[in-house]
Amino acid sequence: MSDLPVIRLRPKSKPQAIRHGFPWIFADEVVLDRRTRALPAGGFAVLEDAERRPMALVTVNPVSKIIARVMDADPAARIDGEWLRVRLARALAMRERLYDAPFYRLVHAEADGFPGLVVDRFGDSAVIQPNAAWADGMAGEIAEALADVAGVETVILNGQGRARGLEGLDERTEILRGAAPDAPVQVVMNGAVYMADLLGGQKTGLFYDQRPNHAFAQRLAQGAEVLDVFSHVGGFGLAALAAGASRATCVDGSAAALELAEAGARAMGVSDRLETRQSDAFKAMEALAEEGRRFDLVICDPPAFAPSKQALEAGLRAYERVAKLAAPLVAPGGYLGLCSCSHAADLTQFRNASARGIGRGGRRGVLIHSGQAGPDHPTLPQLAETGYLKALFFRLDG
């Protein structure tokens, strides 16, 4: 690939991490001359070490702090439709081994060899999130490869979110292939029915990552009264009802999300056991405490309060406050589930913040289970960010 430009590591950079699988190269690690700064965002280049030895084929974005992402360990690789199809086929084979139905995360970014690209599958539809410039530029080719490999008919680009801004990409939503679904897609997980709005919903329309944590919560939910805070489309609440909970209350700030939760309950035939509250979650928990409400199982699955290192301290305080408000709502001997999808907060930091909050809420308890995302969200060992989801379940004493 001698026709490709070259970017070179600075002499003090450590190439061992990249050779051992770390996929990112930061701007302060490369020689930032005028030629490198002029490279087009989303283009490809050969990465060399300081001794001018080729290391990998990378995609480049001079406007991002992550100036390069490893696409292929072979510097001579060519990123084209065939390259996309080969990697998609590998990702698909694993999901088909894991799941009986075609509802899962098909591509989990770097962990599946697609830097900055997320693809969630909903039967014969797929929603892609191209959060890196190369994926945004090749969105059409990605859609065609998805059709060829996975047989999907509709491909929707959801170009929303903080990650795109960091890459200098505009927000956009576009139908790349097929026709937009005329109704939310029904997704069955753990016996519950969820309604995924592929065009207007949050992220790709549904959070597949919590599937194993929903399943664990179901073991605590039989015959229980359940509170699901930051419920989105009813994630934990509907799973609890599917497992035989006596009642579930879903709290979320989005009326549209709660309408989808109610539609899921109707499809399950459990509408009479579902209560929804549209409210700020913190205010709702305060109000429930004033009403004297108590629940056998309380689960809080908030958005990422610590999406970056700069937001870490404030985010940990927010997680502590969630635990502080949620703990008094748990009936004696009941259970509290707390979740974090923050990249910047590791498991130890989140666990400590949660424990502090439970104590500040006047309760004591023991940690009975720690969960993470399902296997359709694989973790790249060299990149902690791919293992972002943490779920803690506590049994609270009197």
Phi, psi angles (nearest 5°) of residue 161: 115, 165
Catalytic residue among 250, 300, 339, 341: 341
Report the distance separating Cα 311 and Cα 343, nearest Å.
11
What does the block give as tokens for 254? 């989005």
Q: What is the 3-state secondary structure (H, E, C) of the chain?
A: CCCCCEEEECCCCCHHHHHCCCCEEEHHHECCCHHHHCCCCCEEEEEECCCCCEEEEEEECCCCCEEEEEEECCCCCCCCHHHHHHHHHHHHHHHHHHCCCCEEEEEEHHHHCCCCEEEEEECCEEEEEECCHHHHHCHHHHHHHHHHHHCCCEEEEEECCHHHHHCCCCCEEEEEECCCCCCCEEEEECCEEEEECCCCCCCCCCCHHHHHHHHHHHHHHCCCEEEEECCCCCHHHHHHHHCCCCEEEEEECCHHHHHHHHHHHHHHCCHHHEEEEECCHHHHHHHHHHCCCCEEEEEECCCCCCCCHHHHHHHHHHHHHHHHHHHHHEEEEEEEEEEECCCCCCHHHHHHHHHHHHHHCCCCEEEEEEECCCCCCCCCCCCHHHHCCEEEEEEECC
Cα angle 148-154-159, degrees, rounded to a multiple of 5: 105
- Is there a catalytic annotation at residue 339? no
Listed residue (284, 203, 202) closest to 250, CA to CA: 284
Which residues are part of the catalytic machinery? 341
